[in-house]
Structure 1
Amino acid sequence: MSPLVLSDYSTDEDGEQTFTTPSSFSSSSSFSSGSAVLHRSLKVDPLKVIAASGINLQLSNGQEILDATGGAAVSCLGHGSQRVQKAIMAQMDIGVSYCHSMFFSTTASEGLAEELIASTNGQMAKAFIVGSGSESMEAALKLSRQYYLELKPPQLKRDKFISRHESYHGITLGALAAGGHKARRGPFEPLLAKITSQVSACNSYRGMKDGETEGQYVERLRAELDAEFVRVDPKTVCAFIAEPVVGAALGCVTSPPGYFKAMKSVCEKYGALLIFDEVMCGMGRTGTIHAWQQEGVVPDIQTIGKGLGGGYAPIAGLLINHRVVDVLRTGTGSFAHGQTYQGHPVSCAAALEVQRIIREEDLMNNVKKMGQKLEKLLRDQLGEHPNVGDIRGRGLFWGIEFVQEKALRQPFDPKEQIAWRIQEKGLQPPYSISLYSGTGTADGKSGDHILLAPAYNVTASEIEIIVDRTKRVIQDYFDTWVKK
């Protein structure tokens, strides 16, 4: 769910808030020529993608880039799907490129919703389609509040949320307030509603104590969440928010068995909802259409995006379970929220075809097989590297965390900009690979990782190339870093 940013928020020694742009970015870009676009950086213009096919991007300078991350884990079918293109054109050919959801529905939106609900085996009841992951989280927060207003009797005090440290749930103000990403929250803290508190992330690599078993770790986190409910007053909490597999904020961190069942037990104890943010890790990325299907826990509300439309059109949404829908149905009978491009017909047609391709071509089986191959090759070729602290993930969603001291799990100083620099080196020949970097992995400020998220239809030979190039980038970078 996390956007790739070229500037990072930090606090200097005097406590002043500053923005920094990695100095290495200019190595793969030209100085600004006066583009009319407000790019992520005003100091340099990014190179232009002029064509794309499969997992390859053709740049304006003639270079070809291997897209090993699908952008921000978005392009789940790669680029240039003829089936999706035809579905988009078919929707436009009937002349229904837009309609206002207050007055009308469309075949495309109805078909997509049916496909999505069927993918949950009927455990979710309704779909609500919007344009971006941040919009979906905004809607989830409002829907949670409305659920309690419509209970009989209404629970008017429910106006707070609990999430986790090192979490990211969107860039708009409400979604940003719901997350715990220090760098992205920092500059805008004065604008953020004080509606959310955080508990510890579930990160075995960083969070488990020496001698602690996974079961003991889960119990400790369960007790921490319970204590946080009590601290803020359980009668005021709408929901607990979490990613089943943490994306850009932590770099593909999974949870030990039983963690989410423990978290849901606390929510049930205090009558709160469970919101799963699956914008980045969902819609097949981890080997099942929904990541929660591997956890044995059904959320009350689920946000989806990225792999929903595979990048062929801007689209995201909510899946809402029967418990929430039934309360609204017996109450006002409506959700007090709407947006101009809600259920956009062209976006829905694109997403519906993406989901049909995933189902008809049994791509979840390929995600599992290629994910196993990706994991094995990463561990075999990078597991012993002195600066690779952890390799973790699931399906075709893998993160590599970098450390200065392997035995102590010591992160690099944030000023080193390790992850950014590795990403930038990867874009250069002879590597020519797109890697997705992230920071704050250790404590919200320090800690570096890169993320790999290739397309669901990736081949075994492409996986081998991805790992080979990734390995060479990392080895060559740290060989140079050690010598400087």
Structure 2
Amino acid sequence: MGDYQPETIASPTPAATGNQLKDISTNDSGVLYHQLRQKPLNIVGGRGSYLITDDGLEILRRHLRDKRVHDAIMEQLQKIPYAYSLYFTNNAAENLSRILVDSTGGKMSRAFIVSSGTEAVEASVKMAMQYFRELPTPQPQRVKFISRTQSYHGNTLGSLAVGHHIARRAIYESILTKNVHHVSQCYPYRGMKDGESTESYVARLAQELEDKFQSLGPDTVCAFVAETMSGATLGCVPALPGYLKAMKEVCERHGALLILDEVMSGMGRTGTLHAWEQEGVVPDLQTIAKGLGAGYAPIAGLLVNKHVVDTLTRGTGAFAHSQTYQGHPVSCAAAYRVQQIIQEDNLLPNVREMGEYLGCLLHEKLGDNPHVGDIRGRGLFWALEFVQNKSTKESYPPSKKIAWTLHATGLKPEYAISLMPGNGGADGVNGDHICLAPPYNTTKAEIELIVDRASKVIQEVLG
């Protein structure tokens, strides 16, 4: 998307009487920060591919501002900012849903628009449960879900249970549902045995899923949930050829649904609008989020396969779930304009071209680094996994906080780059990686700058 220069941001003027506004740069902030003992950098503006802090530091990041989206938001605000979707629809939600459904060739026939990826996953789980209760011959015994280790699907209790982010689950384990079971990730760097072929590894993972179905009772499994391409928790691991197709075959054999989580990998990030387009599969339910609205407004969605919609239509005729801000007109208007721009500016070919260049440059600059164990990705979504020993793949101890140190170092003025950190990928506790996700209209010059700055950060931290 094109550059957009925001208006000058003026400091608020305290009122003459009453409670005066306090400078948020002080320690008197009312914000509950993620790290309570540390105030994050304060972002006051943006320029092109950069975030601008209140002290003038420009940080290379992955989101671009575009005046066309700003105008669409303002236009919608002037029309109608909100209408409760339980009683009303609105043109913005209708337009966005139509463009999404059409983008799948009608394979997914309805869109349920919410505000976050977590909410989309929560809705997908409920939709799957309801589907089996509304079949002509109901199957209410299907209440179990199978997901994968080192996966992440959200932070509400339902989505947290479906995922396997050990650190985020830890203190809530006692109240998480016990009907979710996990199988291994498709993680060739650590999962493939020496000498094992791709075909044999995929067959082994499919057999593991089959065995899990059998141990649980095949007719009790509601759905298998997986990220089409793993996100920040495992670190940008693409599915091996034939993997998702093999997993779907297991689901179909036993009548279970396939839910694909594309909150991070979808809406163009991996080179096609839907990541499943590259895998030879069509999900029964699909979640989307981050690339949908490009960060302009809180928005996500659940795309529903036609056969699921048809089942509910013939059954109760309603989805037994709703949220106050689903289908929010302003968010939908922003996302609709973002999706139009992706088409108008022909951005997906650039994602593929620049993604290939990013991968090649990462291998060229960092492939021989003794502490870079694996370089992986697809499209404009790449990760570097770090190890103490390249031969043994030994991870750094969690106490070293390698990923977070890389992130913090990247924010120093001499580097000024935002590197997304992740840890626990190796086994849920050990393992460090960083993710790189440039904007869809990135250039070769920006890719070179990203790799150069990331390489210098890695050199400072790991030597």
- TM-score interval for Structure 1 and Structure 2 normalised by the shorter chain: over 0.9
2:56 paired with 1:87: no
| Aligned position for 1:292 | 276
Question: Per-residue deviation at 1:429?
Answer: 2.1
SS of 2:222's equivalent in the other structure is: strand
2:366 paired with 1:382: yes
SS of 2:111's equivalent in the other structure is: strand
SS of 1:277's equivalent in the other structure is: strand
Paired amino acid for 1:37: V
| Aligned position for 2:21 | none
- Contact conserved, 1:32 with 1:45, CA < 8 A, in 2? no
SS of 1:457's equivalent in the other structure is: coil
- Alpha-carbon distance in 2 for matches of 1:134, 1:274: 17
**Aligned counterparts, 1:189-204, within 5 A:** 189-204=173-188
Report Cα offsets for 1:150-200 as digits up to 9, x if no partner: 012110101110000000000011000001111111111011111210000
- Contact conserved, 1:164 with 1:198, CA < 8 A, in 2? yes
- Contact conserved, 1:397 with 1:452, CA < 8 A, in 2? yes
| Aligned position for 1:66 | 60
| Aligned position for 1:463 | 447
Paired amino acid for 2:416: S
Given the superposition, is the C-alpha separation of residues 238 and 404 from structure 1 closer, same or farther in structure 2, using an over 3 Å criterion?
same
Q: 2:202 aligns with which of 218, 221, 234?
A: 218
Given the superposition, is the C-alpha separation of residues 202 and 32 from structure 1 closer, same or farther in structure 2, using an over 3 Å criterion?
farther
Paired amino acid for 1:384: D
Given the superposition, is the C-alpha separation of residues 328 and 423 from structure 1 closer, same or farther in structure 2, using an over 3 Å criterion?
same
SS of 2:140's equivalent in the other structure is: coil
2:34 paired with 1:40: yes
Count of aligned pairs = 440
Given the superposition, is the C-alpha separation of residues 47 and 149 from structure 1 closer, same or farther in structure 2, using an over 3 Å criterion?
same
Question: Per-residue deviation at 1:475?
Answer: 1.2
- Alpha-carbon distance in 2 for matches of 1:183, 1:42: 17
2:419 paired with 1:435: yes
- Alpha-carbon distance in 1 for matches of 2:432, 2:369: 15
Paired amino acid for 1:81: D
**Aligned counterparts, 1:204-243, within 5 A:** 204-243=188-227
- Alpha-carbon distance in 1 for matches of 2:27, 2:102: 49
| Aligned position for 1:26 | none
Q: Which has the higher contact order (CA 8 A, sep 6+)?
A: 1
- Alpha-carbon distance in 2 for matches of 1:102, 1:64: 43
2:340 paired with 1:346: no
- Contact conserved, 1:144 with 1:238, CA < 8 A, in 2? yes
- Alpha-carbon distance in 1 for matches of 2:151, 2:272: 22
SS of 1:162's equivalent in the other structure is: strand
SS of 1:456's equivalent in the other structure is: coil
- Alpha-carbon distance in 2 for matches of 1:416, 1:50: 32
Report Cα offsets for 1:11-30 as digits up to 9, x if no partner: xxxxxxxxxxxxxxxxxxx9
Question: Per-residue deviation at 1:53?
Answer: 2.2
Question: Per-residue deviation at 1:392?
Answer: 0.2
- Contact conserved, 1:422 with 1:474, CA < 8 A, in 2? yes
| Aligned position for 1:274 | 258
| Aligned position for 1:55 | 49
- Alpha-carbon distance in 2 for matches of 1:31, 1:197: 45
SS of 1:333's equivalent in the other structure is: coil
Question: Per-residue deviation at 1:32?
Answer: 7.0
SS of 2:374's equivalent in the other structure is: strand
Give structure 1 regions of 4+ aligned residues with deviation exceeding 4 angstroms.
none
Gaps of 5+ in 1: 1-29, 480-484
**Aligned counterparts, 1:417-456, within 5 A:** 417-456=401-440
- Contact conserved, 1:31 with 1:43, CA < 8 A, in 2? no
Given the superposition, is the C-alpha separation of residues 32 and 450 from structure 1 closer, same or farther in structure 2, using an over 3 Å criterion?
farther
Question: Per-residue deviation at 1:61?
Answer: 1.5
Paired amino acid for 1:215: E
Question: Per-residue deviation at 1:129?
Answer: 0.1
2:454 paired with 1:473: no
- Alpha-carbon distance in 1 for matches of 2:106, 2:127: 20
**Aligned counterparts, 1:114-153, within 5 A:** 114-153=98-137
- Alpha-carbon distance in 2 for matches of 1:206, 1:90: 50
Gaps of 5+ in 2: 1-23
SS of 1:449's equivalent in the other structure is: strand
Paired amino acid for 2:29: S
| Aligned position for 1:308 | 292
- Contact conserved, 1:390 with 1:402, CA < 8 A, in 2? yes
Report Cα offsets for 1:362-418 as digits up to 9, x if no partner: 100000011011011100000000000000000000000000000111111111100
